[in-house]
Amino acid sequence: MHSPVIPTDYSPAQDLLQGKVILVTGAGDGIGRAAAESYAAHGATVILLGRTLAKLEAVYDAIEAAGGAQPALFPLDLATASEADYANLAEAMDSTFGHLDGLLHNASLLGERRPIASATWPAWAEVMQVNVNAQFLLSRALLPLLEQAPQASIVFTSSGVGRRGRAYWGAYAVSKFATEGLMQVLADELENTSRIRVNSLNPGATNTAMRRSAYPAETPTVNPAPQDLMPAYLYLMGNDSLGVTGQALNARA
Ligand SMILES: NC(=O)c1ccc[n+]([C@@H]2O[C@H](COP(=O)([O-])OP(=O)(O)OC[C@H]3O[C@@H](n4cnc5c(N)ncnc54)[C@H](OP(=O)(O)O)[C@@H]3O)[C@@H](O)[C@H]2O)c1
């Protein structure tokens, strides 16, 4: 289910996200960091969620130094977060902002690269917890706030191995298939009843810590930097993608 709806020459307006409140998971590094900084540069107030406070603080400082709106920090380890943690997050956001315009599910774990036959249960379970269960818990907790926005966008992060399985990608690949499933079910549920659009985005090979760990022998710079993908990430968060929902998209052609 690939759809070419992201214009290849998309050029976002500087004020595309002015006044919007957007939460990014895994905002401390890689693609999540680039997305948080890019959303802020286009006018959004971003909520930085991640497990390493020092990294989130560095992103916070970078956004403030660039003149962006003051972000909010929400340190949370998605591997161990409880339902109460998600409820607390929703409550804090409700009292501070009263609504949410965008939710980028970006945080993921790569996990073990080995055959299913020798995959270990703790590693499998952790990947499914972070990459799938946390997305369900976070989406469920934040849906009431997304319903309060005039138009809202939920973006799930997929992968090539979440659209066609590949040997030795184990729980990571399976978690990305589940991500596509969660996206489709949610998009279908919301299609006629709300102003929330829901899509998945495959960034493609990108020069981040995850990619370097999956392909240690590869020259990192053969892949684009996270910043190079931002037109697609901005398109899906901004009102130029109104009406696009239930789609499995690619950040690059
Ligand atoms: N890079 C690629 O080539 C590629 C290709 C296809 C899909 N993707 C997808 O793109 C997304 C971003 O990947 P990336 O390459 O930017 O990876 P990355 O550089 O490893 O960044 C992942 C982010 O997720 C956070 N995270 C991991 N486990 C977490 C947990 N338990 N709780 C909270 N945050 C957690 C990390 O936090 P810490 O910084 O604290 O570790 C980090 O900020 C992922 O969904 C990935 O599957 C990437």
Instruction: Tell whether the model's pLDDT for residue 2 goes beyond 50.
Output: no
Measured in Å, residue 209 CA sits from the centre of ligand 1 at: 8
Average pLDDT over the chain, rounded to an integer:
96
Q: Which residue is catalytic, options 60, 172, 233, 235? A: 172
Residue 221's contacts (CB-CB under 8 Å, 6 or more residues apart) are 207
Tell me the CATH architecture of domain 21-250: 3-Layer(aba) Sandwich (3.40)
For the chain, what is the largest distance between any 2 Cα atoms, rounded to a whole number of angstroms?
A: 51
Instruction: Tell whether the model's pLDDT for residue 5 goes beyond 90.
Output: no
Question: Alpha-carbon Rg of the chain, whole angstroms?
Answer: 17
d(CA 134, CA 207): 25
pLDDT tens across 178-196, in order? 999 999 999 999 998 889 9
For residue 217, the model assigns a pLDDT of 96
The helix/strand/coil state of 7 is coil
Averaged pLDDT, 197-213:
97
- Tell me how far apart the terminal alpha carbons of the chain are, to the nearest angstrom: 14
Binned at pLDDT 50, 70 and 90, residue 70 comes out as very high
Instruction: Tell whether the model's pLDDT for residue 253 goes beyond 90.
Output: no
Evaluate whether 21 touches 36 at the Cβ level (below 8 Å).
Answer: no
Nearest CA to ligand 1 atom 7: 159
Active site includes 172? Answer: yes
Instruction: Tell whether the model's pLDDT for residue 32 goes beyond 80.
Output: yes
Measured in Å, residue 25 CA sits from the centre of ligand 1 at: 9
